Chains A and B, each alone.
Chain A
Amino acid sequence: MTETGAVGAGGPMPPKPISKTQTHVTGLDEILHGGLPTGRTTLVNGGPGSGKTVFGLEFIYRAALDGEPGIFISFEEDADSIRRNGLSLGWDLPALEEAGMLRILDGQLDPAVIRSGDFDINGLLAILGGQATAMGAQNVVIDAIDGLLRISDDRRWEREQLEMLHRWLLERRLTALLTAKAFNAGDGGQTYEFMEYMVDCILKLDQRVDGQVSVRRLRIVKYRGSDFERNEFPFAISESGIVLVPISRPALDHAYSPEILSTGNDAMDELLGGGLVKSSITLLTGASGTGKTSLASTIAIEAHRRGQRVLYVQFEESRPAMVGRMLSAGIDLRPALESGLLRIEALMPETLGVEEHLIQLLHLMREHAAEVLIVDAVSATVRMHTDEAAYDFLVRLANACRPAGVTLLMTNQSGEIPSDAGIVTMISSLIDTVIRLEYREEEDLVHRTLLVLKSRGMRHSSRRHRFLITDHGIEIIDRPGDGAAGN
């Protein structure tokens, strides 16, 4: 007899999680918890130069590389400049176009066009629909949709057209990414607030000046039907595309007990609420001669004592000079060096550009299989090129270390760059722990103090502590437990 059975006779289906399309943009899919909503519309919103076009292009390019054909149309730049932009990021867009995986459409409108009576954007829909069917495309990027809508001065018309476009995209089940200039621009620019209610997912890009450096950030404003990360994430446009730095969740999650690494100095550990968190990012900042290298060297020796592999990148002095100077301060790096666990590499910031330095540094990190990376001083990156490039360098370095479980310690020489705050402010959201070293001279006495400005997820001291650099290393003379020198 034939088997009669329960096929299809189960209970009601459990709620189906929404399906997602990977963007393949470094770090973005993680914070989107998988990717963009498949068959739905995402809005990328940001001011001029905030990186909207690159975001859209990278998505369509990487998805095409991954076997998903896609269409890209820009109403701001002609197709050839889009192709050139791609090329400057190492993306061979014409090759994908020839393979039928990608189509870049020229959305340039004739500015001298004459208007006579009502019109609508059915032409765009016909072109997108026809092209999507012809190449089996599911992904569509419409860059600078406001550029198309600008042909009318009628806000109501613009809204109707956007609603029509959105309905059509949904009906066609296309995974669409629309970019538009920022709302609330305050410059009398386009305001498409209603789009916020319409679309399922919104990413906001922002480029602002912190200190004297322009810093890029991304935030997910909304994701209907999905969880997402709500922080602001710094990003850089590297030579191969966008790099987003996920803020480490373990360090922010209080239920998680992170692995704590000792600094090799009991008093210092106490101030930090235990020590440094594994795979966190620490910045040690202070003027020249405040003891940054001494403290960093102590941390390096302690890591070696634990059996960890340490790479110490020195931008300020040669290896022999550094080893000798530390020795006279009672900090002996030689055993760690001889064991092969500690490697000190002196690099000249002026000799190479930011890009070459980063590549070299990442190469050294992999070659040495470093578990702890110390960069002394990161302020040297500013000497490699511009502040902007230095920012990109740091974002990408952080991005390389954190997911690999590498604990990163950077020193920063304050006062080297025009604004003291410079590097500290521009990368503060990336950094878990900031320690500031200060000194002042009082008559013939040098008064050194140390302050833990922040340490994510740790119960750290929040006052200044005096310390000495003795012939046996760093000595904190008013430990938290001492009750000395109150608050």
Chain B
Amino acid sequence: MTAGNEGRLHPPADGAAEPYRLHLFVAGDETNSRRARENLARICKEYVHEPYQVEITDVLEDYEVALEMGIYVTPALLIEAPVPGAAVFGNLSDVNKVLNAMGLEESV
């Protein structure tokens, strides 16, 4: 996506916007997992104006990734980049918490 960088991003050391790498873990189609997908899509659309990529892992299909990352709770969102990153548990219904974790603030 294009950079509508309005000072919301933690500026990386070199000043260039590092793309967001978001990794969402869901458990099939159960309610919270479905909501998490929807909420993340909405958050990205409405608040993230920087480049980003989203990877979705269904732990029921691919437990090994969950095992490797220690994802015992779903849904879970790992913000893998920019560093230091963060982990958010839940269906992402509390948008502000997700934005905080991403180093973004809700625009007025």
A-B complex: 3 closest residue pairs judged by Cβ atoms: A130-B63, A117-B93, A122-B27
B99: nearest chain-A partner, CB-CB = A116
Supply 23 A–B pairs (Cβ within 8 Å), ascending by A. A107-B70, A107-B72, A108-B70, A112-B86, A112-B87, A114-B86, A114-B97, A116-B93, A116-B95, A116-B97, A117-B93, A117-B94, A118-B90, A122-B27, A122-B30, A123-B59, A123-B74, A126-B66, A127-B67, A130-B64, A148-B72, A148-B73, A151-B89
B86: nearest chain-A partner, CB-CB = A114
CB distance from A144 to the nearest CB of B (A): 12
Answer whether residue A453 sits at the interface, using C-beta atoms and an 8 A cutoff. Answer: no
Answer whether residue A119 sits at the interface, using C-beta atoms and an 8 A cutoff. Answer: yes
Interface residue tally of chain A, by bracket?
20 to 34
- Complex contact B59–A126 (CB within 8 A): yes
- Complex contact B88–A116 (CB within 8 A): yes
Within 8 Å by CB of B88, from A115, A118, A123, A126, lies: A115
In the complex, A127 Cα to B71 Cα: how many Å?
8
In the complex, A39 Cα to B64 Cα: how many Å?
24
- Complex contact A123–B76 (CB within 8 A): yes
- Complex contact B74–A119 (CB within 8 A): yes
The interface residues of chain A, by DSSP majority, are classed as mixed
Which chain A residues lie closer than 8 Å to B97 at the CB level?
A: 114-116
Answer whether residue A110 sits at the interface, using C-beta atoms and an 8 A cutoff. Answer: yes
In the complex, A148 Cα to B36 Cα: how many Å?
21
A130: nearest chain-B partner, CB-CB = B63
- Complex contact A114–B88 (CB within 8 A): yes
Chain A positions within 8 Å of B, measured between CB atoms, are 105-110, 112-127, 129-131, 148, 151
Answer whether residue B35 sits at the interface, using C-beta atoms and an 8 A cutoff. Answer: yes
In the complex, A125 Cα to B27 Cα: how many Å?
10
B88: nearest chain-A partner, CB-CB = A114
- Complex contact A116–B90 (CB within 8 A): yes
B75: nearest chain-A partner, CB-CB = A119
Answer whether residue B53 sits at the interface, using C-beta atoms and an 8 A cutoff. Answer: no
In the complex, A53 Cα to B60 Cα: how many Å?
28
Interface string of B8-48 (1 = CB under 8 A from A): 00000000000000000101001011011001000000000
Interface residue tally of chain B, by bracket?
35 or more
* Given A106-B70, A130-B63: A114 touches B87 (CB 8 Å cut-off): yes
In the complex, A106 Cα to B27 Cα: how many Å?
20
Which chain B residues lie closer than 8 Å to A148 at the CB level?
A: 72-73
B63: nearest chain-A partner, CB-CB = A130
Which chain B residues lie closer than 8 Å to A130 at the CB level?
A: 63-64, 67
Q: Which of B52-70 contact A (CB under 8 A)?
A: 59-60, 63-64, 66-67, 70
Answer whether residue B101 sits at the interface, using C-beta atoms and an 8 A cutoff. Answer: yes
Please report the number of residue pairs spanning A and B whose Cβ atoms sit closer than 8 angstroms.
Answer: 107
In the complex, A129 Cα to B32 Cα: how many Å?
20
* Most-contacted residue by chain A among B59, B63, B64, B70 (CB, 10 A): B63
CB distance from A75 to the nearest CB of B (A): 8
Within 8 Å by CB of B73, from A106, A120, A131, lies: A120
B27: nearest chain-A partner, CB-CB = A122
In the complex, A115 Cα to B77 Cα: how many Å?
10
* Given A126-B27, A127-B72: A119 touches B89 (CB 8 Å cut-off): yes
**Beyond A109-B70, A118-B93, A123-B25, 18 additional pairs, beta carbon < 8 A:** A109-B72, A110-B87, A113-B88, A115-B89, A116-B88, A116-B90, A116-B98, A116-B101, A117-B94, A118-B90, A118-B91, A119-B32, A119-B90, A120-B30, A121-B72, A126-B63, A130-B63, A148-B73
CB distance from A34 to the nearest CB of B (A): 32
B95: nearest chain-A partner, CB-CB = A116
Within 8 Å by CB of A116, from B64, B71, B73, B92, lies: B92
* Given A126-B59, A130-B64, A131-B63: A119 touches B91 (CB 8 Å cut-off): yes
- Complex contact B74–A114 (CB within 8 A): no
B35: nearest chain-A partner, CB-CB = A117
Which chain A residues lie closer than 8 Å to B5 at the CB level?
A: none
B60: nearest chain-A partner, CB-CB = A126
- Complex contact A116–B67 (CB within 8 A): no
- Complex contact A117–B39 (CB within 8 A): yes
Which chain B residues lie closer than 8 Å to A110 at the CB level?
A: 87
CB distance from A176 to the nearest CB of B (A): 15
In the complex, A115 Cα to B35 Cα: how many Å?
15
Which chain B residues lie closer than 8 Å to A124 at the CB level?
A: 72-73
- Complex contact A151–B63 (CB within 8 A): no
- Complex contact B91–A117 (CB within 8 A): yes
CB distance from A147 to the nearest CB of B (A): 10
A132: nearest chain-B partner, CB-CB = B63
A113: nearest chain-B partner, CB-CB = B87
Which chain B residues lie closer than 8 Å to A151 at the CB level?
A: 73, 89
- Complex contact A131–B74 (CB within 8 A): no
- Complex contact A129–B74 (CB within 8 A): no
CB distance from A189 to the nearest CB of B (A): 21
Which chain B residues lie closer than 8 Å to A126 at the CB level?
A: 27, 59-60, 63, 66, 74
- Complex contact B73–A117 (CB within 8 A): no
A73: nearest chain-B partner, CB-CB = B72
Which chain A residues lie closer than 8 Å to B63 at the CB level?
A: 126-127, 129-131
- Complex contact B32–A118 (CB within 8 A): yes
